Amino acid sequence: MYRDRKKLEEELKNVIDEIKHKRKVLEQINWELKKYNIPNGTINSIARGDDRIASLDSPLLCLICLAVYTITGIQSISPYEYYSDREIELSQKNLGTSNRFHLLQLPIQLADVTMIDLENYITKIKMSYLVQMYHSQLITYDYETQRSPKFKRTKNGVVPVPDINKKSVEDISDHMLRETYLSDMLTLNVYSTDVEPLHYNEKTKTLTINSRATISILDGFHRLQGGVRAVAINPDLGLEMILSVRSYDTDSAKKYFGQINTINVVKPQRLKELKSQKYSDIVVRDLQKKTDLKGKIASSSKISEVAGQLTTFDILSYAIDKVFDPKTTLEAKEVSSYLVDFFNYLTGLFAQEFIMNPNEYRKDYINHPLMFAAYIRIAKDFKDQQTDLNKIKARIDKIDFHNRELLEILEDRRGINNNRNRNAMIHYFS
């Protein structure tokens, strides 16, 4: 370029502000842009403020200036004042044959997609393709399920616009361009009240977004805008993102957005559970999924009696590690298989105490969090002695929960997270 790009951006913005309410002029500019395979409505989108001029790559900026200059004759945005003849010629040639400015239309297919459930799919996707979807006006911003909008006064009244943090978008874009951006996940919501919005082919692992479906961005709008800016500067951006595709109605989409934007410090106990670094953790995760303890095992360092929780992930993992000591994934699965059966018997035989009405039995100590370390010890004895699981009730009925030595452990001031207390409980029942 002969002159500073920022000067051209300012001049173009001023001219567009003058003509943005002149419908016939905008139509003529769109016809000019069609010659270069630039999507219809591009100039309208810029005039509304949906697409920032600063995000346009140099060839596109050049041709938009050329089209506006051709129709309006305003010299301040003549591309010949900023670009060489060769640059203008290359812009016309490259955009005229480039697929990345072709309008995408539904239906479209996404490849290599994994279905989590009927409303939840995941794959990877090039950021440049997401940008192409955005420029094709396939991805919308749903104000009902997103952050509160800002409001902009126009000739047609006050309209909502996305509340964008420009500094954040620029920072994200800069990292993408420098290849220091760590790929993360964007979430699209595909929905319709008239047609089936999605079709998944399990054999080919392709997900089709059907015609007449609506696509809104549920999470990652700033990242998408960063991608728009980055692709404008470097059309060959190779960044790939994780893409989550949901199919939620409005209420579910609102709930999901609220859920993912409730920011709290992740507690160490929860991180441990999520990482599942020990073989004993694998066992506990199976107990969470396959037994009546589902929803009863706390991720934090203490239980919630209001929620009917019984023990913690950490207590169970600690006891399994100490008592069963699984050394491989295979051993962990074998332990898991046995304990799933054991705890299903235990909770079934004492349904009131563990499942139906646990808070009524807190003072009886049968469902005290530390007692689950004891039950792990008892389970090991049953397994080693090949005792029939239907004898669990008789074994538990023999326990004197108010025995002084046992009470000293259960009521120790050091609490359920103290390893000495846990070890003492395991030893007491050995």
For 400-404, the CB contacts below 8 A with 24+ separation are 401/364, 401/365, 401/366, 402/365
Q: Quote the pLDDT of residue 107.
A: 93
What is the number of alpha carbons within 13 Å of residue 311 lying toward its C-beta? 28
97: pLDDT confidence band, cut at 50, 70 and 90? Answer: very low
Kindly give the interhelix angle for 329-349 and 279-290, rounded to the nearest 10 degrees.
40
Q: Does residue 303 have a pLDDT over 80?
A: yes
Taking CA atoms, 130 is separated from 47, 89, 178, 206, in Å, by 22, 28, 19, 17
Q: Quote the pLDDT of residue 76.
A: 87
What pairs with residue 190 in β-bridges? 215
The average pLDDT across 298-312 equals 84
Q: For residue 252, count CB atoms less than 10 angstroms from its CB and return exposed for 0-12, middle for 13-18, buried for 19 or more.
A: middle
Q: Quote the pLDDT of residue 145.
A: 60
The average pLDDT across 64-79 equals 88
For the stretch 222-250, pLDDT in tens is: 899 888 888 877 777 889 999 999 988 87
Q: Under a CB-based contact definition with an 8 Å cutoff, are residues 55 and 72 in contact?
A: no
Q: How does 132-149 read in b/e, with b if 16+ C-beta sit within 10 Å? A: bbbbbbbbebbeebbeee
The average pLDDT across 111-135 equals 91
Q: Measured between alpha carbons, how far is 305 from 115 in angstroms, rounded to an integer?
A: 35
The average pLDDT across 117-134 equals 90
Q: Quote the pLDDT of residue 98.
A: 46
Copy the structure tokens of residue 108. 């479209």
Q: Quote the pLDDT of residue 263.
A: 45
For the stretch 343-375, pLDDT in tens is: 999 999 999 999 999 999 999 999 999 999 999
| Measured CA angle at 289 (ends 285, 291), to 5 deg | 110
Q: Quote the pLDDT of residue 299.
A: 75
Higher model confidence: residue 149 or residue 162? 162
Percentages helix, strand, coil for the chain, rounded to the nearest 5? 50, 15, 35
Q: Measured between alpha carbons, how far is 50 from 298 in angstroms, rounded to an integer?
A: 45
Taking CA atoms, 232 is separated from 236, 319, 341, in Å, by 9, 56, 58
Tell me which H or E stretch contains 140.
strand 139-140
Q: Quote the pLDDT of residue 427.
A: 96
Higher model confidence: residue 407 or residue 47? 407
The average pLDDT across 56-67 equals 86
For 172-178, the CB contacts below 8 A with 24+ separation are 172/222, 172/223, 172/225, 172/226, 172/227, 172/230, 173/226, 173/227, 173/229, 173/230, 173/233, 175/226, 176/127, 176/226, 176/227, 176/230, 176/237, 176/239, 177/230, 177/233, 177/234, 177/237
Copy the structure tokens of residue 338. 């046995």
Q: How does 191-204 read in b/e, with b if 16+ C-beta sit within 10 Å? A: beeeeebbebeeee
For the stretch 390-424, pLDDT in tens is: 999 999 999 999 999 999 999 998 899 999 999 99
Mean pLDDT for the chain?
Answer: 85
Task: Give φ, ψ of 82 to 5 degrees.
Answer: -125, -30
Q: Under a CB-based contact definition with an 8 Å cutoff, are residues 336 and 288 in contact?
A: no
Q: Quote the pLDDT of residue 200.
A: 93
Q: Quote the pLDDT of residue 278.
A: 78
Q: Does residue 206 have a pLDDT over 70?
A: yes
Tell me which H or E stretch contains 9.
helix 5-19
Higher model confidence: residue 297 or residue 1? 297
Higher model confidence: residue 73 or residue 99? 73
Q: What is the DSSP string of 348-380?
A: HHTHIIIII-GGGGGGGTTT-TTHHHHHHHHHH
What letter represents residue 233's amino acid? I
Q: Measured between alpha carbons, how far is 269 from 354 in angstroms, rounded to an integer?
A: 23
| Measured CA angle at 412 (ends 407, 414), to 5 deg | 160
Q: Quote the pLDDT of residue 178.
A: 80
Q: Does residue 99 have a pLDDT over 70?
A: no
Q: Under a CB-based contact definition with an 8 Å cutoff, are residues 227 and 217 in contact?
A: no
Cis peptide bond N-terminal to 107, omega within 30: yes
For the stretch 251-286, pLDDT in tens is: 777 777 666 655 444 456 655 554 445 789 889 989
Name residues whose C-beta falls within 8 Å of residue 26's C-beta, 6 or more positions apart in sequence. 19, 20, 43, 44, 47
The average pLDDT across 191-200 equals 89
Q: Quote the pLDDT of residue 155.
A: 53
